[in-house]
Protein backbone atom coordinates (compact mmCIF):
# COMPACT_ATOMS: atom_id res chain seq x y z
CA UNK A 1 0.00 0.00 0.00
CA UNK A 2 1.32 3.44 -0.87
CA UNK A 3 1.97 5.45 2.27
CA UNK A 4 -0.12 8.63 2.47
CA UNK A 5 1.74 11.69 1.23
CA UNK A 6 2.95 13.65 4.21
CA UNK A 7 2.01 17.27 3.86
CA UNK A 8 4.60 19.68 5.18
CA UNK A 9 3.71 20.93 8.62
CA UNK A 10 2.43 24.31 7.54
CA UNK A 11 3.32 26.12 10.71
CA UNK A 12 6.49 24.30 11.60
CA UNK A 13 9.39 26.61 10.95
CA UNK A 14 11.82 24.61 13.03
CA UNK A 15 13.87 22.61 10.55
CA UNK A 16 15.25 25.47 8.47
CA UNK A 17 18.50 26.74 10.02
CA UNK A 18 18.18 30.27 8.72
CA UNK A 19 21.20 32.26 7.50
CA UNK A 20 22.08 35.63 9.05
CA UNK A 21 18.91 35.46 11.16
CA UNK A 22 18.07 35.38 14.85
CA UNK A 23 16.44 31.97 14.37
CA UNK A 24 14.55 31.74 17.67
CA UNK A 25 13.31 35.31 17.54
CA UNK A 26 12.22 34.95 13.91
CA UNK A 27 10.42 31.67 14.45
CA UNK A 28 8.35 33.23 17.24
CA UNK A 29 7.32 36.12 15.02
CA UNK A 30 8.01 35.17 11.40
CA UNK A 31 7.97 37.46 8.39
CA UNK A 32 7.16 35.38 5.34
CA UNK A 33 7.11 36.32 1.68
CA UNK A 34 5.14 34.15 -0.69
CA UNK A 35 4.84 35.94 -4.03
CA UNK A 36 6.57 38.74 -5.93
CA UNK A 37 5.93 40.83 -9.02
CA UNK A 38 7.45 44.09 -10.19
CA UNK A 39 8.50 46.07 -7.12
CA UNK A 40 6.25 44.22 -4.68
CA UNK A 41 6.17 41.16 -2.48
CA UNK A 42 3.05 39.60 -1.00
CA UNK A 43 2.92 37.76 2.29
CA UNK A 44 1.14 34.36 2.45
CA UNK A 45 -1.93 36.22 3.78
CA UNK A 46 -1.90 38.45 0.71
CA UNK A 47 -0.54 41.62 2.31
CA UNK A 48 1.46 43.74 -0.17
CA UNK A 49 4.96 44.88 0.75
CA UNK A 50 6.93 47.30 -1.39
CA UNK A 51 10.43 45.99 -2.04
CA UNK A 52 12.69 48.80 -0.87
CA UNK A 53 15.77 46.62 -1.17
CA UNK A 54 15.44 44.77 -4.51
CA UNK A 55 15.39 41.57 -2.48
CA UNK A 56 18.94 41.69 -1.14
CA UNK A 57 20.23 44.32 -3.60
CA UNK A 58 19.77 41.82 -6.40
CA UNK A 59 16.44 42.07 -8.23
CA UNK A 60 17.49 45.14 -10.20
CA UNK A 61 15.04 44.64 -13.08
CA UNK A 62 12.11 43.92 -10.77
CA UNK A 63 10.45 40.64 -9.88
CA UNK A 64 8.85 38.05 -12.12
CA UNK A 65 10.29 39.16 -15.44
CA UNK A 66 8.66 37.10 -18.17
CA UNK A 67 11.66 37.35 -20.51
CA UNK A 68 13.97 35.81 -17.95
CA UNK A 69 11.48 33.10 -17.12
CA UNK A 70 11.17 32.22 -20.80
CA UNK A 71 14.95 32.12 -21.30
CA UNK A 72 15.43 29.82 -18.30
CA UNK A 73 12.57 27.54 -19.40
CA UNK A 74 13.98 27.30 -22.92
CA UNK A 75 17.44 26.50 -21.62
CA UNK A 76 16.04 23.84 -19.32
CA UNK A 77 14.31 22.27 -22.30
CA UNK A 78 17.46 22.40 -24.46
CA UNK A 79 20.10 21.36 -21.96
CA UNK A 80 19.81 21.38 -18.18
CA UNK A 81 23.46 21.19 -17.32
CA UNK A 82 26.88 20.94 -18.90
CA UNK A 83 30.27 21.04 -17.19
CA UNK A 84 32.72 23.83 -17.85
CA UNK A 85 35.84 21.84 -16.88
CA UNK A 86 37.68 20.89 -20.09
CA UNK A 87 34.30 21.20 -21.84
CA UNK A 88 32.13 24.13 -22.73
CA UNK A 89 28.68 25.21 -23.81
CA UNK A 90 27.97 28.09 -26.17
CA UNK A 91 26.00 30.31 -23.77
CA UNK A 92 28.94 30.70 -21.37
CA UNK A 93 31.18 32.06 -24.14
CA UNK A 94 28.42 34.30 -25.47
CA UNK A 95 27.74 35.70 -22.02
CA UNK A 96 31.42 36.36 -21.31
CA UNK A 97 31.73 38.19 -24.64
CA UNK A 98 28.68 40.29 -23.77
CA UNK A 99 30.05 41.13 -20.33
CA UNK A 100 33.47 41.95 -21.78
CA UNK A 101 31.85 44.30 -24.29
CA UNK A 102 30.04 46.27 -21.58
CA UNK A 103 32.94 46.47 -19.12
CA UNK A 104 35.00 49.64 -18.85
CA UNK A 105 38.70 49.82 -19.77
CA UNK A 106 40.43 46.58 -20.59
CA UNK A 107 38.44 44.44 -18.17
CA UNK A 108 37.82 41.80 -20.78
CA UNK A 109 37.61 38.28 -19.32
CA UNK A 110 34.94 36.69 -17.14
CA UNK A 111 35.25 33.83 -14.66
CA UNK A 112 31.88 32.55 -13.40
CA UNK A 113 30.72 31.13 -10.09
CA UNK A 114 27.49 31.05 -8.10
CA UNK A 115 27.52 33.84 -5.54
CA UNK A 116 29.25 36.96 -4.35
CA UNK A 117 31.14 35.01 -1.71
CA UNK A 118 32.52 32.65 -4.31
CA UNK A 119 33.35 35.58 -6.55
CA UNK A 120 35.40 37.18 -3.78
CA UNK A 121 37.32 34.05 -2.88
CA UNK A 122 37.89 33.39 -6.59
CA UNK A 123 39.20 36.92 -7.11
CA UNK A 124 41.59 36.63 -4.16
CA UNK A 125 42.86 33.31 -5.54
CA UNK A 126 43.26 34.72 -9.06
CA UNK A 127 45.21 37.66 -7.61
CA UNK A 128 47.58 35.34 -5.74
CA UNK A 129 48.01 33.07 -8.76
CA UNK A 130 48.72 36.05 -11.00
CA UNK A 131 51.39 37.45 -8.70
CA UNK A 132 53.06 34.06 -8.60
CA UNK A 133 52.81 33.62 -12.37
CA UNK A 134 54.63 36.89 -12.92
CA UNK A 135 57.45 35.87 -10.64
CA UNK A 136 56.19 37.80 -7.60
CA UNK A 137 55.28 34.84 -5.45
CA UNK A 138 56.26 36.65 -2.25
CA UNK A 139 53.19 38.80 -2.71
CA UNK A 140 50.76 36.80 -0.59
CA UNK A 141 49.31 39.47 1.66
CA UNK A 142 45.72 40.64 1.10
CA UNK A 143 44.43 44.00 2.25
CA UNK A 144 40.76 44.65 3.02
CA UNK A 145 39.03 47.46 4.84
CA UNK A 146 37.23 47.98 8.13
CA UNK A 147 33.43 47.79 7.75
CA UNK A 148 33.91 45.93 4.45
CA UNK A 149 31.66 43.02 3.53
CA UNK A 150 32.97 40.47 1.07
CA UNK A 151 30.70 37.52 1.68
CA UNK A 152 31.19 34.59 3.96
CA UNK A 153 33.97 32.41 2.56
CA UNK A 154 37.18 32.26 4.58
CA UNK A 155 38.86 34.63 2.14
CA UNK A 156 35.95 37.05 2.22
CA UNK A 157 35.62 37.16 6.01
CA UNK A 158 39.38 37.56 6.38
CA UNK A 159 39.52 40.68 4.22
CA UNK A 160 36.08 41.79 5.44
CA UNK A 161 35.82 44.21 8.30
CA UNK A 162 32.59 43.49 10.17
CA UNK A 163 33.31 42.14 13.60
CA UNK A 164 30.31 39.82 13.92
CA UNK A 165 31.23 38.14 10.65
CA UNK A 166 34.78 37.50 11.89
CA UNK A 167 34.83 36.83 15.58
CA UNK A 168 33.49 33.26 15.51
CA UNK A 169 36.02 31.92 13.03
CA UNK A 170 39.37 31.89 14.70
CA UNK A 171 42.43 33.14 12.86
CA UNK A 172 40.99 32.97 9.34
CA UNK A 173 43.56 33.67 6.59
CA UNK A 174 46.97 34.74 7.82
CA UNK A 175 48.76 37.74 6.35
CA UNK A 176 45.77 40.05 6.03
CA UNK A 177 45.67 43.72 6.94
CA UNK A 178 42.95 46.35 6.78
CA UNK A 179 42.57 49.93 5.63
CA UNK A 180 40.52 52.18 7.89
CA UNK A 181 36.87 52.63 6.96
CA UNK A 182 35.72 55.89 5.43
CA UNK A 183 32.67 56.61 7.58
CA UNK A 184 33.29 60.06 9.07
CA UNK A 185 29.95 61.31 10.40
CA UNK A 186 31.53 64.15 12.34
CA UNK A 187 32.67 65.69 9.05
CA UNK A 188 30.33 64.22 6.44
CA UNK A 189 26.91 63.74 8.09
CA UNK A 190 23.97 64.18 5.72
CA UNK A 191 26.25 64.41 2.69
CA UNK A 192 24.33 64.26 -0.55
CA UNK A 193 26.15 61.93 -2.93
CA UNK A 194 29.90 61.63 -2.43
CA UNK A 195 31.16 62.90 0.93
CA UNK A 196 33.66 65.76 0.78
CA UNK A 197 36.07 64.53 3.42
CA UNK A 198 38.23 61.45 3.70
CA UNK A 199 40.15 60.95 0.43
CA UNK A 200 43.33 61.03 2.50
CA UNK A 201 42.28 57.78 4.16
CA UNK A 202 43.49 56.02 1.00
CA UNK A 203 47.00 57.12 2.01
CA UNK A 204 46.78 54.61 4.83
CA UNK A 205 47.73 52.09 2.18
CA UNK A 206 51.15 53.76 2.09
CA UNK A 207 51.43 53.15 5.82
CA UNK A 208 50.53 49.49 5.34
CA UNK A 209 53.10 49.22 2.52
CA UNK A 210 55.71 50.83 4.76
CA UNK A 211 54.93 48.30 7.48
CA UNK A 212 54.87 45.12 5.38
CA UNK A 213 56.73 46.11 2.18
CA UNK A 214 55.06 46.09 -1.21
CA UNK A 215 56.86 42.87 -2.14
CA UNK A 216 54.58 41.02 0.31
CA UNK A 217 51.26 42.49 -0.84
CA UNK A 218 49.22 40.84 -3.61
CA UNK A 219 46.01 42.82 -3.65
CA UNK A 220 43.71 45.34 -2.04
CA UNK A 221 39.97 44.68 -2.07
CA UNK A 222 37.29 47.29 -1.40
CA UNK A 223 33.65 47.83 -2.18
CA UNK A 224 33.41 51.08 -4.16
CA UNK A 225 30.34 51.83 -2.02
CA UNK A 226 30.31 49.69 1.10
CA UNK A 227 26.82 48.25 1.51
CA UNK A 228 26.53 46.15 4.60
CA UNK A 229 27.05 48.62 7.43
CA UNK A 230 24.54 51.12 6.20
CA UNK A 231 25.66 52.19 2.70
CA UNK A 232 28.86 54.22 2.61
CA UNK A 233 29.68 55.95 -0.69
CA UNK A 234 33.41 56.74 -0.92
CA UNK A 235 34.80 60.19 -0.16
CA UNK A 236 35.48 62.29 -3.25
CA UNK A 237 38.80 61.25 -4.81
CA UNK A 238 39.34 58.28 -2.49
CA UNK A 239 39.12 55.50 -5.08
CA UNK A 240 41.32 57.42 -7.52
CA UNK A 241 43.97 57.73 -4.82
CA UNK A 242 43.77 54.06 -3.94
CA UNK A 243 44.27 53.22 -7.63
CA UNK A 244 47.37 55.43 -7.82
CA UNK A 245 48.96 53.90 -4.74
CA UNK A 246 48.26 50.35 -5.96
CA UNK A 247 49.85 51.20 -9.33
CA UNK A 248 52.88 52.70 -7.66
CA UNK A 249 53.52 49.50 -5.69
CA UNK A 250 52.48 46.78 -8.14
CA UNK A 251 49.47 45.86 -5.99
CA UNK A 252 46.32 44.59 -7.68
CA UNK A 253 43.14 46.52 -6.96
CA UNK A 254 39.94 44.50 -6.63
CA UNK A 255 36.56 46.22 -6.64
CA UNK A 256 33.85 44.16 -5.02
CA UNK A 257 30.90 45.26 -7.14
CA UNK A 258 28.45 42.67 -5.88
CA UNK A 259 25.99 45.44 -5.00
CA UNK A 260 27.18 48.26 -7.27
CA UNK A 261 27.44 46.13 -10.41
CA UNK A 262 24.62 46.15 -12.95
CA UNK A 263 23.25 49.59 -12.56
CA UNK A 264 22.91 50.53 -8.90
CA UNK A 265 24.82 53.80 -9.32
CA UNK A 266 23.23 54.72 -12.63
CA UNK A 267 26.13 53.29 -14.64
CA UNK A 268 26.78 49.65 -15.51
CA UNK A 269 29.51 49.43 -12.86
CA UNK A 270 31.00 51.65 -10.17
CA UNK A 271 34.30 51.39 -12.06
CA UNK A 272 32.61 53.23 -14.92
CA UNK A 273 30.84 55.68 -12.63
CA UNK A 274 34.09 56.66 -10.89
CA UNK A 275 36.28 56.14 -13.95
CA UNK A 276 38.63 54.02 -11.88
CA UNK A 277 39.46 50.68 -13.45
CA UNK A 278 40.29 47.92 -10.97
CA UNK A 279 42.41 44.94 -12.00
CA UNK A 280 39.69 42.55 -10.94
CA UNK A 281 36.00 43.07 -10.25
CA UNK A 282 33.63 40.77 -8.41
CA UNK A 283 29.94 40.67 -9.28
CA UNK A 284 26.82 38.64 -8.43
CA UNK A 285 23.22 39.60 -7.57
CA UNK A 286 22.08 41.82 -10.47
CA UNK A 287 24.08 39.70 -12.91
CA UNK A 288 21.10 37.31 -13.15
CA UNK A 289 18.47 39.48 -11.47
CA UNK A 290 18.68 36.86 -8.71
CA UNK A 291 16.64 34.33 -10.69
CA UNK A 292 19.39 31.68 -10.84
CA UNK A 293 22.34 32.07 -8.47
CA UNK A 294 25.38 33.44 -10.27
CA UNK A 295 28.55 35.35 -9.53
CA UNK A 296 31.57 36.34 -11.53
CA UNK A 297 35.06 37.77 -11.51
CA UNK A 298 35.91 40.13 -14.34
CA UNK A 299 39.64 40.58 -14.95
CA UNK A 300 41.76 42.92 -16.96
CA UNK A 301 43.70 41.75 -19.95
CA UNK A 302 47.06 41.79 -18.19
CA UNK A 303 45.72 39.56 -15.41
CA UNK A 304 44.32 36.99 -17.81
CA UNK A 305 47.36 37.16 -20.10
CA UNK A 306 49.68 36.90 -17.11
CA UNK A 307 48.14 33.56 -16.25
CA UNK A 308 48.26 32.21 -19.81
CA UNK A 309 51.86 31.08 -19.62
CA UNK A 310 53.64 27.74 -19.57
CA UNK A 311 52.84 24.81 -21.83
CA UNK A 312 49.40 24.99 -23.46
CA UNK A 313 48.31 21.62 -22.10
CA UNK A 314 48.67 22.80 -18.51
CA UNK A 315 45.57 24.08 -16.68
CA UNK A 316 46.37 27.70 -15.85
CA UNK A 317 44.07 28.11 -12.84
CA UNK A 318 43.28 25.10 -10.67
CA UNK A 319 40.03 26.60 -9.51
CA UNK A 320 36.38 26.37 -10.52
CA UNK A 321 32.95 25.19 -9.46
CA UNK A 322 30.73 22.38 -10.74
CA UNK A 323 28.21 25.09 -11.48
CA UNK A 324 30.59 27.69 -12.95
CA UNK A 325 28.70 29.11 -15.94
CA UNK A 326 25.68 26.91 -15.26
CA UNK A 327 23.57 26.96 -18.43
CA UNK A 328 20.45 28.17 -16.61
CA UNK A 329 22.40 30.99 -14.97
CA UNK A 330 23.93 31.96 -18.31
CA UNK A 331 20.50 31.99 -19.97
CA UNK A 332 19.09 34.15 -17.17
CA UNK A 333 22.08 36.51 -17.21
CA UNK A 334 21.84 36.97 -20.94
CA UNK A 335 18.10 37.67 -20.78
CA UNK A 336 18.59 40.24 -18.03
CA UNK A 337 21.26 42.02 -20.09
CA UNK A 338 18.64 42.39 -22.84
CA UNK A 339 16.24 43.94 -20.32
CA UNK A 340 18.86 46.30 -18.92
CA UNK A 341 19.61 47.46 -22.45
CA UNK A 342 16.10 47.62 -23.90
CA UNK A 343 14.68 49.45 -20.90
CA UNK A 344 17.85 51.55 -20.40
CA UNK A 345 17.62 50.71 -16.71
CA UNK A 346 21.06 52.01 -15.75
CA UNK A 347 20.23 55.36 -17.32
CA UNK A 348 16.87 55.24 -15.60
CA UNK A 349 18.64 54.77 -12.26
CA UNK A 350 20.82 57.78 -13.05
CA UNK A 351 17.78 59.88 -13.91
CA UNK A 352 15.92 58.88 -10.76
CA UNK A 353 18.86 59.30 -8.41
CA UNK A 354 18.25 63.00 -7.70
CA UNK A 355 14.58 62.38 -6.94
CA UNK A 356 15.63 59.52 -4.68
CA UNK A 357 18.24 61.71 -2.98
CA UNK A 358 15.68 64.45 -2.26
CA UNK A 359 13.23 61.87 -0.97
CA UNK A 360 15.55 60.13 1.46
CA UNK A 361 17.09 63.38 2.71
CA UNK A 362 13.59 64.66 3.52
CA UNK A 363 13.78 62.25 6.47
CA UNK A 364 16.42 64.45 8.08
CA UNK A 365 15.04 65.87 11.31
CA UNK A 366 13.00 62.80 12.23
CA UNK A 367 13.58 61.69 15.82
CA UNK A 368 16.90 59.94 16.30
CA UNK A 369 18.10 60.24 12.67
CA UNK A 370 21.79 61.13 12.87
CA UNK A 371 22.97 60.62 9.29
CA UNK A 372 21.61 59.97 5.80
CA UNK A 373 23.78 58.97 2.83
CA UNK A 374 22.92 58.25 -0.78
CA UNK A 375 24.41 57.53 -4.18
CA UNK A 376 22.66 56.17 -7.23
CA UNK A 377 19.49 54.35 -6.22
CA UNK A 378 20.60 53.45 -2.72
CA UNK A 379 20.66 55.09 0.67
CA UNK A 380 21.67 54.49 4.25
CA UNK A 381 20.03 56.03 7.30
CA UNK A 382 21.71 55.93 10.71
CA UNK A 383 19.73 56.23 13.90
CA UNK A 384 21.03 56.95 17.33
CA UNK A 385 21.46 53.76 19.35
CA UNK A 386 19.33 53.27 22.42
CA UNK A 387 21.27 53.33 25.63
CA UNK A 388 22.85 49.91 26.25
CA UNK A 389 21.11 48.19 23.33
CA UNK A 390 22.89 48.73 20.04
CA UNK A 391 20.77 47.46 17.17
CA UNK A 392 17.42 47.45 18.99
CA UNK A 393 16.18 50.61 17.35
CA UNK A 394 17.35 49.50 13.90
CA UNK A 395 15.57 46.18 14.36
CA UNK A 396 12.36 47.83 15.53
CA UNK A 397 12.47 50.16 12.54
CA UNK A 398 12.91 47.24 10.18
CA UNK A 399 10.03 45.26 11.77
CA UNK A 400 7.76 48.29 11.83
CA UNK A 401 8.54 49.03 8.18
CA UNK A 402 7.59 45.47 7.26
CA UNK A 403 4.33 45.75 9.20
CA UNK A 404 3.58 48.99 7.38
CA UNK A 405 4.32 47.37 4.01
CA UNK A 406 7.96 48.24 3.25
CA UNK A 407 11.03 46.03 3.13
CA UNK A 408 14.31 47.64 4.26
CA UNK A 409 17.66 46.17 5.31
CA UNK A 410 18.89 46.61 8.83
CA UNK A 411 22.44 46.59 10.13
CA UNK A 412 22.76 47.57 13.80
CA UNK A 413 21.00 50.96 14.01
CA UNK A 414 21.22 51.69 10.30
CA UNK A 415 18.77 50.88 7.61
CA UNK A 416 19.66 50.63 3.94
CA UNK A 417 17.36 50.91 0.97
CA UNK A 418 18.08 50.00 -2.65
CA UNK A 419 14.88 49.55 -4.66
CA UNK A 420 14.64 47.78 -8.02
CA UNK A 421 15.75 50.09 -10.84
CA UNK A 422 12.25 49.89 -12.36
CA UNK A 423 10.83 51.82 -9.41
CA UNK A 424 8.46 54.71 -10.25
CA UNK A 425 8.55 58.16 -8.66
CA UNK A 426 5.27 57.67 -6.79
CA UNK A 427 6.67 54.40 -5.43
CA UNK A 428 9.77 56.25 -4.22
CA UNK A 429 7.38 58.62 -2.43
CA UNK A 430 5.68 55.62 -0.84
CA UNK A 431 9.01 54.12 0.28
CA UNK A 432 10.09 57.42 1.84
CA UNK A 433 6.74 57.88 3.52
CA UNK A 434 6.70 54.39 5.03
CA UNK A 435 10.36 54.60 6.07
CA UNK A 436 9.59 57.87 7.84
CA UNK A 437 6.60 56.33 9.64
CA UNK A 438 8.69 53.32 10.71
CA UNK A 439 11.51 55.54 11.99
CA UNK A 440 9.02 57.59 14.02
CA UNK A 441 7.33 54.49 15.39
CA UNK A 442 10.69 53.08 16.56
CA UNK A 443 11.93 56.35 18.02
Ligand X SMILES: Cc1ncc(COP(=O)(O)O)c(C=O)c1O
DSSP per residue, 196-238: SS-GGGGGHHHHHHHHH-GGGEEEEEE-SSB-TTT-BPPPTTH
Q: How far is the CB of 213 from ligand X (least distance, A)?
A: 28
d(CA 12, CA 14): 6
How many residues bind to ligand X according to rule CB under 6 A? 14
Q: Give the distance, in angstroms, between the CA of residue 279 and the centroid of all CA atoms in the same chain.
A: 18
Q: How far is the CB of 113 from ligand X (least distance, A)?
A: 9
- 59 vs 442, beta carbon nearer ligand X: 59
Residue 332 makes contact with ligand X by CB under 6 A: no
In this chain, which of 116, 155, 233, 235 binds ligand X, going by CB under 6 A?
A: 116
Interface residues for ligand X in 79-108 (CB under 6 A)?
none
Q: How far is the CB of 378 from ligand X (least distance, A)?
A: 11
Count of alpha carbons within 13 angstroms of residue 162, beta-carbon side: 16
CA 186 to each of CA 78, 236, 420: distance values in angstroms, whole numbers, following the listed order: 57, 16, 31
The residue number whose beta carbon is nearest to ligand X equals: 116
Count CB-CB contacts under 10 A for residue 17. Answer: 7
Task: Supply the Cα-derived Rg of the chain in whole angstroms.
Answer: 22
Q: How far is the CB of 214 from ligand X (least distance, A)?
A: 26
- 96 vs 283, beta carbon nearer ligand X: 283
Stretch that binds ligand X, among 7-15, 40-48, 116-124, 200-208 (CB under 6 A): 116-124
What is the edge-to-edge ordering of all strands in the sheet holding 280-283? 107-113, 295-300, 280-283, 252-256, 217-222, 141-145, 176-179
d(CA 422, CA 433): 19
Stretch that binds ligand X, among 109-117, 136-144, 333-341, 353-361 (CB under 6 A): 109-117
DSSP per residue, 81-120: ----SS---HHHHHHHHHHHHHSSTTEEEEEEESSHHHHH
Q: How far is the CB of 205 from ligand X (least distance, A)?
A: 19
Residue 147 makes contact with ligand X by CB under 6 A: no
- x/- binding map, residues 234-273, to ligand X, per CB under 6 A? ----------------------x-xx--------------
- 108 vs 223, beta carbon nearer ligand X: 223
Q: Is 347 helix (H, G, I), strand (E, B) or coil?
A: helix
Q: How far is the CB of 186 from ligand X (least distance, A)?
A: 25
Q: Are 400 and 442 in contact (CB under 8 A)?
A: yes
Residue 228 makes contact with ligand X by CB under 6 A: yes
- 284 vs 329, beta carbon nearer ligand X: 284
- 117 vs 397, beta carbon nearer ligand X: 117
Residue 120 makes contact with ligand X by CB under 6 A: yes
d(CA 146, CA 163): 9
In this chain, which of 108, 177, 223, 272 binds ligand X, going by CB under 6 A?
A: 223
Q: Is 65 helix (H, G, I), strand (E, B) or coil?
A: coil
What sign has the CA pseudo-torsion 55, 56, 58, 61? positive
What is the edge-to-edge ordering of all strands in the sheet holding 406-407? 35-37, 40-42, 48-51, 406-407
Count of alpha carbons within 13 angstroms of residue 149, beta-carbon side: 16
Q: Are 236 and 195 in contact (CB under 8 A)?
A: yes
Q: How far is the CB of 289 from ligand X (least distance, A)?
A: 13
Stretch that binds ligand X, among 112-120, 240-248, 382-390, 409-417 (CB under 6 A): 112-120
Residue 158 makes contact with ligand X by CB under 6 A: no
Q: How far is the CB of 156 from ligand X (least distance, A)?
A: 6
In this chain, which of 127, 209, 284, 328 binds ligand X, going by CB under 6 A?
A: 284
Q: Is 142 helix (H, G, I), strand (E, B) or coil?
A: strand
Residue 151 makes contact with ligand X by CB under 6 A: yes
Q: How far is the CB of 260 from ligand X (least distance, A)?
A: 8
In this chain, which of 227, 266, 327, 405 binds ligand X, going by CB under 6 A?
A: 227
Stretch that binds ligand X, among 40-48, 147-155, 234-242, 244-252 (CB under 6 A): 147-155
Q: How far is the CB of 227 from ligand X (least distance, A)?
A: 5
Residue 410's H or E segment, with its range, is strand 409-411
Q: How far is the CB of 145 from ligand X (least distance, A)?
A: 11
Q: How far is the CB of 364 from ligand X (least distance, A)?
A: 26
Residue 411 makes contact with ligand X by CB under 6 A: no
The site for ligand X (CB under 6 A) is made up of: 115-117, 120, 149-151, 223, 227-228, 256, 258-259, 284
Amino acid sequence: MTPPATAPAANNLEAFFMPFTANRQFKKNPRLLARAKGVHYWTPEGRRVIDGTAGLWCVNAGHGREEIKAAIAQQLEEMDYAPSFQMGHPKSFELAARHAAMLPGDLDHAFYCNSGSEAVDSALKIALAYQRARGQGTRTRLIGRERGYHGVGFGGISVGGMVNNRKQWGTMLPGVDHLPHTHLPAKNAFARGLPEHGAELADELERIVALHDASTIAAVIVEPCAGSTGYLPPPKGYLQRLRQICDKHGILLIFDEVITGFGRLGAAFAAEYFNVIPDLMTVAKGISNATVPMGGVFVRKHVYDGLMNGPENVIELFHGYTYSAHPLACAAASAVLDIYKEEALFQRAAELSKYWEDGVHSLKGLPGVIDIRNLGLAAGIDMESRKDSVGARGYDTFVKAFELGLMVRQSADSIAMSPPLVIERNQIDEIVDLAGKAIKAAA
